[in-house]
Structure 1
């Protein structure tokens, strides 16, 4: 839509909807206030409004949509408890770098402090968890506030913005006297001296490791990170939120870093002389030993925001876009040969192949055991889904099998959406709906526990009504398996407190438009294949798989032993 030079609007919400249309926004998530003015503004447009039953779900869906699409997502809410409900979603969006704008209702200026209905200091509550929070009271300030909100959300390190329209603006005319300034994402190139310093570090390294974080999502479409690794003879690792940023089938890819590092990669981390961290805050799970470099190893960090550079590590710092930095390095290294130690490159390729061999051996082992094991669930899921697929993950107990490469791998045409370091329960289960709407040509499977799946609540009906075909693989351990495992590990297995119930048996009633419970391996492939077909046709499909608490990745068990 081409913006006009000027326009008048019946309300701030009508102005906001016009901006959304001009910006190319096609989908909005939310649950508006009971004045319903946002819906009246949307009614004559072709913007899709996914009406959620819970504002928490709307925020998670919007964050999922932003992570997959790379575009700013929009969430529309009311005031008071509605604003409180989106806090968790905003925290996830902030920590995962999801560009998102929450448009909210607010108490009128004249009624503040009077005990007005649902009056709450929403600015004080939400300001700490967003990049920018702003309240608009006067119609003359609506247009610039909308423009700034979307500019801030998409630029720098992407993240959420909160914009509140007071009730005074529900019927106040808003005039725009110039064309909209439409949002554009700016990707600043690092300055020359910083690039020269970082190039010197790359040239001097003989045993380099590339660590790709969530900040590189949508910044590596042409595979330049893989080319840099080939040029340097470097191992490629990702953080959890960095999954999907590189081709995990590449022979130099070695899995996740830190807590989720496969055991075959530990010698690489012990031997590296330089870690190149692209778009990562280097949070605790990404730097957990032994799946990360030891003290004294230089870490070359590239980040858009100075505040997101970790001060825990020595080494050069580059402020700027990770994609631009990698392009500059490739140009600077164009005339040089591979400076890596040849034995290092061989070790990297060996790590990749030995990890695959260990997983294949584990699958053969569990195939001889009774019952269904999660390693084989992932194997069958890999078989039944098409190459263009997205796995949306949680971070509980059994669902963490998918974190340990290569039990699950994201190839060149695949993607993976993973919760941020905050790991809000239910984020993946709900965000999968937004992911599917952002990628309608991909199969979307959510790999979740039963506790996380329960967070969908009434919004499962929203997916059904909207025809959002997500395939849910629900690992049913009877509740919150991670907490129960911690309770058992602490010797309190006989405690009067329990986080789980007995796993469901076949035939238990479960919600879902297409539903199956699989408790033996005979029907596993058949049921997952059928469910995948149902979801491809736009139908929500839910496959429940009873699992045992002790069915956890060996890598995770060993890490916990070292941590305890």
Structure 2
């Protein structure tokens, strides 16, 4: 929505600061913001204000990357991510980032400059109706017109971004507020967020749960940072459910649990598909049930087989599926259900779930043994080397190209023992993971952060490789490890050049020189060209070098045919739009 801020009663002079950006910076510090990503306007008023308030600005080269970084920070930390840009083209450069933040449900605040009120409509330098540009992609879009509205607008934006179904918001600070007195009233008492839910004994959802004999619990990205005490696993154990997740829901549950059967939909392992076909109830926690999450579902799911959806926001409910809907926080609802349901784990179903989990692990061990005997290096072996050489609490930041999608396949990559995962949303913006890794690094403290990206995504991002170096030099803990899969192909596009469209075979969708390319030479970046024989040693050396805050790039030559969906054309492996 686009907000028009009304005027308010001015406060006493003692509550004023000089300049709107100094007020904004003070308000950010008040909200607990420690780092902002972006590229300030030419006048540098915002940079000066952040410095005075003790808020660090990570200077980016590309405004799109800045919003990606803020999104990565928000997804990893659960706290507000903030991006700062100028006006006009600086704002339009952020649109892809806002699209990704909106689809990911990331609490991000985008701050921008704006044309002074007295110059609007005059063809002013970089003049643009910025609210109209960003409004479709944010929860609220506010242009502050009067000094009295700076503090209320920023405080409201922070509250909206971080409440309910979280998402991005936008606040524009026009140039006519740069040098005026701005009131900053004392903060209001903290917002109360109750953390309990009650469930009526005759609840339709409880009726379904009590009668289910073959349930599956599907965990989505809306459950990020909501399962610290493992209530989801306890609930699944109580009702005897298999555990699955969407790509964005990885890291919510411990994937070492014998109830975990891998991802859902497009990324579901073949072994798990029989369980999905036989389920008599699916409980969905914090997912909008996008296409990739439901791809391959039998017609019975959501028709004769109930899908119980739990979502904090009604707008996130997929109304095409039949079954009870519960509006509330997934963790709170699971805790309430635990008090109402009795142990009902059907022995035969639990046995099948256990067999699928252990079967997936056995398959993976056999796969690695078979690949070890082959001369070529495989992406699956790279993931295994990362798993073997890096600490268990690593955070993997992913892209969604063709070969990097191996990391979506459990147990080839596993979120267990504290490991984390940050993935693109359903929008899968190219370059998101490479840039978001910088924000994740800022939020991860002393945890290892690995970006697992294709060469195309890395090339799109590499203008901000110096930003990664600068962040590591001033932050505690390890730096960043970029694993760049170099095949020279345009991912899914190249994979479609098959017999059915051989007339297009001359289209330039592959760059052979990219296979042996490296990242731009840059001080502070250590590069390794990985080979199969030295893989484990190269990964171990890269991690050792990254521990002092540096940036390490592992350049991994890969083959175009080494892809998770290599045997399928796009129309057969991925849902087409209706």
Q: TM-score range by the shorter chain?
A: over 0.9
Question: 1: distance between equivalents of 2:148 and 2:130?
Answer: 22
Partner residue of 2:165 out of 140, 157, 168: 157
State which drifts further: 295-304 or 370-379: 295-304
Mark the CA change 1:185 to 1:524 in structure 2 (over 3 Å): closer, same or farther. Answer: farther
CA contact (8 A) 2:519 2:553 kept: no
How far did 1:181 drift? 3.1
CA-based RMSD of the aligned residues comes to 2.2
Residue 545 of structure 1: aligned partner:
556
Residue 509 of structure 2: aligned partner:
499
CA contact (8 A) 1:74 1:101 kept: yes
Mark the CA change 1:524 to 1:194 in structure 2 (over 3 Å): closer, same or farther. Answer: farther
CA contact (8 A) 1:56 1:85 kept: yes
Question: 2: distance between equivalents of 1:253 and 1:292?
Answer: 23
Question: 2: distance between equivalents of 1:144 and 1:194?
Answer: 42
Structure 1, gaps ≥5 residues long: none
For residues 213-264 of structure 1, the C-alpha deviation after alignment (integer angstroms, 9 at most, x for no partner) is 0000000001111111111110000000000111011110111000000001
CA contact (8 A) 2:198 2:336 kept: no
Question: 1: distance between equivalents of 2:363 and 2:102?
Answer: 36
How far did 1:48 drift? 1.2
CA contact (8 A) 2:18 2:180 kept: yes
Question: 1: distance between equivalents of 2:570 and 2:350?
Answer: 26
Partner residue of 1:312 out of 303, 317, 320: 320
Question: 1: distance between equivalents of 2:64 and 2:183?
Answer: 33
How far did 1:477 drift? 0.8
Residue 9 of structure 2: aligned partner:
none
Q: Does 1:179 align with 2:179?
A: no
Residue 90 of structure 1: aligned partner:
98
Question: 2: distance between equivalents of 1:503 and 1:53?
Answer: 26
How far did 1:492 drift? 2.9
Partner residue of 2:128 out of 91, 100, 120: 120
How far did 1:43 drift? 2.0
Q: Give the alignment's TM-score, normalised by structure 2.
A: 0.92
Question: 1: distance between equivalents of 2:152 and 2:559?
Answer: 55
Q: Does 1:299 align with 2:307?
A: yes
State which drifts further: 499-508 or 359-368: 499-508
Once the two structures are superposed, the pairs formed by residues 60-139 of structure 1 within 5 Å of their partners are 60-139=68-147
Question: 1: distance between equivalents of 2:48 and 2:143?
Answer: 21
Residue 4 of structure 2: aligned partner:
none
CA contact (8 A) 2:496 2:570 kept: no
Structure 2, gaps ≥5 residues long: 1-11, 474-478
Residue 260 of structure 2: aligned partner:
253
Residue 496 of structure 2: aligned partner:
486
Mark the CA change 1:464 to 1:367 in structure 2 (over 3 Å): closer, same or farther. Answer: same
How far did 1:44 drift? 2.3
For residues 288-328 of structure 1, the C-alpha deviation after alignment (integer angstroms, 9 at most, x for no partner) is 00589645321100111111100110000011111111111
CA contact (8 A) 2:455 2:514 kept: no
Partner residue of 1:445 out of 444, 450, 453: 450
CA contact (8 A) 1:503 1:547 kept: no
CA contact (8 A) 2:266 2:573 kept: no
Partner residue of 2:149 out of 141, 149, 154: 141
State which drifts further: 137-146 or 493-502: 493-502
Residue 56 of structure 1: aligned partner:
64
CA contact (8 A) 1:471 1:532 kept: yes
How far did 1:500 drift? 1.5
Partner residue of 2:176 out of 158, 168, 191: 168
Residue 516 of structure 1: aligned partner:
528
Question: 2: distance between equivalents of 1:354 and 1:429?
Answer: 33
Partner residue of 1:424 out of 421, 425, 429: 429
Mark the CA change 1:374 to 1:182 in structure 2 (over 3 Å): closer, same or farther. Answer: farther
Mark the CA change 1:509 to 1:100 in structure 2 (over 3 Å): closer, same or farther. Answer: closer
Question: 1: distance between equivalents of 2:461 and 2:411?
Answer: 29
Question: 1: distance between equivalents of 2:400 and 2:470?
Answer: 28
Q: Does 1:13 align with 2:18?
A: no
Mark the CA change 1:299 to 1:555 in structure 2 (over 3 Å): closer, same or farther. Answer: farther
Q: Give the alignment's TM-score, normalised by structure 1.
A: 0.94
Question: 2: distance between equivalents of 1:164 and 1:501?
Answer: 41
How far did 1:93 drift? 1.0
Q: Does 1:222 align with 2:229?
A: yes
Mark the CA change 1:101 to 1:508 in structure 2 (over 3 Å): closer, same or farther. Answer: closer
Partner residue of 2:545 out of 534, 548, 554: 534
Residue 45 of structure 1: aligned partner:
53
How far did 1:360 drift? 1.4
Partner residue of 2:438 out of 427, 433, 448: 433
CA contact (8 A) 1:64 1:434 kept: yes
Question: 1: distance between equivalents of 2:429 and 2:80?
Answer: 21
Mark the CA change 1:453 to 1:37 in structure 2 (over 3 Å): closer, same or farther. Answer: same
Question: 2: distance between equivalents of 1:12 and 1:248?
Answer: 47
For residues 478-504 of structure 1, the C-alpha deviation after alignment (integer angstroms, 9 at most, x for no partner) is 142221112336433762212211155
For residues 455-514 of structure 1, the C-alpha deviation after alignment (integer angstroms, 9 at most, x for no partner) is 222210111122261100000011422211123364337622122111556686754510
Residue 354 of structure 1: aligned partner:
359
CA contact (8 A) 1:73 1:100 kept: yes
